[in-house]
Amino acid sequence: MTVLIGDCRAIMPDHAPFDMILADPPYGDTALGWDRRVEGWLALAQQSLRQSGSLWLFGSLRSFLTIAAELRAAGFRYAQEVVWEKQNGSAFHANRFKRVHELIVQFYHSDARWDGIYNDVQTTPDAAARTVRRKMRPPHTGQIERGYYVSEDGGPRLMRSVIFARNCHGRAIHPTEKPLGLIEILIRTSCPPGGLIGDWFAGSGVAGEAARATGRRYIGCEIDAQMAARANARIAAALPLGSPLPKSIPPSGDTP
């Protein structure tokens, strides 16, 4: 469980093979100092990924169109995408829609079969709200009334591809930090328990915290030494899988 300091292209292949790779790379879409595109890392990531593993890549549609040929050349095949819906978004241009979502796209080896890829699809326990429904006879008439439905079952349903999670904002230690819960979903879906996650652009280390919480191993890489130190501190402070919940903190002024 550590974030290494340096260039992911030089460091991460030495720690392969990874059961899952997470990547939130800079794409050079802005003039910000940290937003500089990194060339050549995709081919190295493909070579570092276990045959049964997959890559989850964050980005915008524009960024994915830009690297589509590079993904194919590196030997990646598209699997599926998740849409992260934010409560607040960005509006860089006054003449375009405010963007309140981000894409997370899953890729796997182009020479692999999908049924050989580790894929533990997550479920949510709210099927009663959205499951297939059947019409019922209203008790006061005995006839089928249009629009009168009841849930067939209240069991789990497959998690949907659009996931709402609040931005980190003031709690974030990195400008593009992702929500912990969102990362946990990706990890539980695509990395087996005890498997190794490679986080090629670690940033805040949120993926390391998620790995620790879900019982996976983790190696991250971050080129900013100060950010890497903060990420490692975050991971070290995270509760590992199976830890008891911390005792509640009494309100200010109360005696413990």
Q: Average pLDDT, stretch 175-196?
A: 89
Compute the mean pLDDT over every residue in the chain, rounded to the nearest whole number: 80
| Alpha-carbon dihedral 216, 221, 222, 226, rounded to 10 degrees | 70
SS3 content of the chain, % helix, strand, coil (to 5): 30, 25, 45
Q: How many CA atoms lie within 13 A of 189 on its CB side?
A: 24
Residue 154 pLDDT: 56
pLDDT band with cut points at 50, 70 and 90 for residue 148: very low
Residue 155 pLDDT: 60
Residues 183 and 194 in one domain: yes
pLDDT above 90: percentage of residues in the chain: 52
Residues 41 and 102 in one domain: yes
Residue span of the structural domain in which 134 resides: 123-157
CA 30 to chain centre: 22
Residues 202 and 220 in one domain: yes
Higher-confidence residue of 249 and 14: namely 14
Neighbours of 92 (CB within 10 A): 9
Task: Classify residue 242: in a domain, yes or no.
Answer: no
Residues 81 and 118 in one domain: yes
Residues 139 and 111 in one domain: no
196-230 pLDDT per residue, tens: 999 999 988 999 999 999 999 999 999 999 999 99
Question: Rounded to the nearest 5 degrees, what angle is found at the Cα of 203, between the Cα atoms of 195 and 86?
Answer: 90
User: How many domains are there within the chain?
Assistant: 2
How many residues in the chain? 256
Task: Classify residue 59: in a domain, yes or no.
Answer: yes
Residues 134 and 190 in one domain: no
Task: Classify residue 247: in a domain, yes or no.
Answer: no
DSSP three-state, residue 79: strand
Q: Where are the beta strands (DSSP E) in 118-225?
A: 123-124, 133-135, 149-151, 157-158, 162-164, 196-199, 217-222
Query: Do the beta carbons of residue 106 and residue 56 sit within 8 Å?
Result: yes
38-81 pLDDT per residue, tens: 899 999 999 999 999 999 999 989 999 999 999 999 999 999 99
102-126 pLDDT per residue, tens: 999 999 999 999 999 999 888 776 5
Residue 95 pLDDT: 79
Nearest in space to 38 (alpha carbons), one of 46, 48, 28, 47: 28
Distances (CA, A) of 119 to 140, 182, 192, 253: 48, 16, 9, 49
Cα gap 118→74, rounded to integer Å:
20
Domain boundary among 108, 137, 157: 157
Task: Classify residue 248: in a domain, yes or no.
Answer: no
Residue 86, pLDDT above cutoff 50: yes
pLDDT band with cut points at 50, 70 and 90 for residue 144: very low
Residues 26 and 44 in one domain: yes
Higher-confidence residue of 139 and 24: namely 24
- For residue 208, the domain's CATH number is 3.40.50.150
Q: How many CA atoms lie within 13 A of 249 on its CB side?
A: 3
Residue 30, pLDDT above cutoff 80: no
Domain boundary among 157, 173, 201: 157
Domain boundary among 157, 175, 210: 157
Residue 31 pLDDT: 55
